[in-house]
Amino acid sequence: MNYTTQMDAARKGITTKAMEIVAKKENIDVNKLRELISKGQVVIPANKNHKSISPEGVGKNLRTKINVNLGISRDCKNVDLELEKVRTAIDMKVESIMDLSNYGKTKEFRDKLIEMSPAMIGSVPMYDAVGFLDKDLKDITEEELLNVIKQHAMDGVDFITIHAGMTRSVCNKIKNHDRLTHIVSRGGSLLFAWMELNDKENPIYKNFDKILDICEEYDVTVSLGDACRPGCIQDSTDSVQIDELIVLGELTKRAWARNVQVMIEGPGHMSIDEIEANVILEKKLCHQAPFYVLGPLVTDIAPGYDHITSAIGGALASSKGVDFLCYVTPAEHLRLPNLDDMKEGIIATKIAAHAGDIAKNVYGAREWDNKMSKARVELDWDEMFKLCIDPKKAKKYRQESRPFNEDSCTMCGKMCSMRTVKKILNNEEVNLI
């Protein structure tokens, strides 16, 4: 039986190879997985032209996935350096990489990325439009923008972020609203400018059905971007954000009617006490579609440490039902992240995702922690290093400060609680002198 997308296959009762791989990774019954995909509650972003992909599922009952943003810009256009980041991100086993390149002819980098990456690949075609078309923003036509989206799909991009929910009506509200940071989404700001300069409706919203034609042909997952996401905690959960979210819910149904898979993108910056309510709103208004958030960052005052403010929000968001976390690095708001920034962002986001998975009782999450605790009780340092989320850093810290007694560390030495209790339980002598 033929099918066009993973959702189409699921609705026809077909178990695809991608479904089998994801079910095995997640230890979930493949029939249950197929049912969740048919309802739109799980997506498997896997473009037909991405031959190197190892498929991952995003959504209900699955592990929280993480995304890493990479790409070249006008000020930092070293392709080799970005490819080194790609290789490192793959080595660190991230599930997703977004190519946010926004300068020059980016296709060469995108082609190399898709060829080498087992992780799913996302992009924001709007970022690429100016360089790809070599035209000023105002002069880009709707048809040309569709051509850029088509090119990304043909190249093998697994999901595309499109800011289709920012209609003229929403834009008018932004202009008359007392938002502190207006529009902080790069793609959203570009579309806002295009709409104002040309006095026209959002071309992504207007041509949404044509975009679905492209996505259906290549099985590209639509990630409905939140152009109006809050850029500071003052703006979170305001009427502009919610108005756009309502539109995204309507677009979700239109995509599902065409068997196109959908994710919903969310905030942003947000006070910690609003996170749970935002997850509930997204799941309700967007019909339980998988939720993908940037952070959220729970305070605005920590440039240089925003991987931490993001991890705090990400852990809570994941625990309340968010399915996909976009990493934030220490360089957020300051510059393009370097290799070390990327590593720190990945680790912080992995910690947040795992913390959420424990709360959601995702299969295997608690077992990982229990194995670590057992190794600590037994003072089995080699096993601890194998289990920890960043073995290199753990080993480095251990080597930098060696204890007199190898079964302890330099914090407590012979007064190590694990060591003391272990000796007592084994009827051994406890000598602290």
Binding site, annotated residues: 69, 98, 127, 163, 185-187, 226-229, 265, 269, 292, 333, 409, 412, 416
The Cα–Cα gap between 310 and 304 comes to 12
DSSP code for 137: G
Separation CA 276–CA 62 (nearest Å): 19
Nearby residues of 389 by Cβ (< 8 Å), 6 or more positions away: 347, 350, 351, 354
3-state SS class at 242: helix
Q: Which residue has the tokens 């019909």?
A: 287
Question: Quick check: 41 and 321 in contact, CB under 8 A?
Answer: no
* Phi, psi angles (nearest 5°) of residue 232: -160, 160
Query: 181 exposed, middle or buried (CB, 10 Å; 0-12, 13-18, 19+)?
Result: middle
The angle at the Cα of 34, spanning 33 to 39, to the nearest 5 degrees, equals 100
DSSP symbol at 236: T
Token output for 64: 């929280």
Query: Which residues define the annotated binding site for Zn(2+)?
Result: 269, 333
Residue stretches of the annotated binding site for substrate: 69, 98, 127, 163, 185-187, 226-229, 265, 292
Q: How far apart are CA 344 and CA 332, in angstroms?
A: 12
Contact 160, 153 (CB under 8 A): yes
* Structure letter (DSSP) for residue 373: H
Give the residue numbers of the binding site for [4Fe-4S] cluster. 409, 412, 416
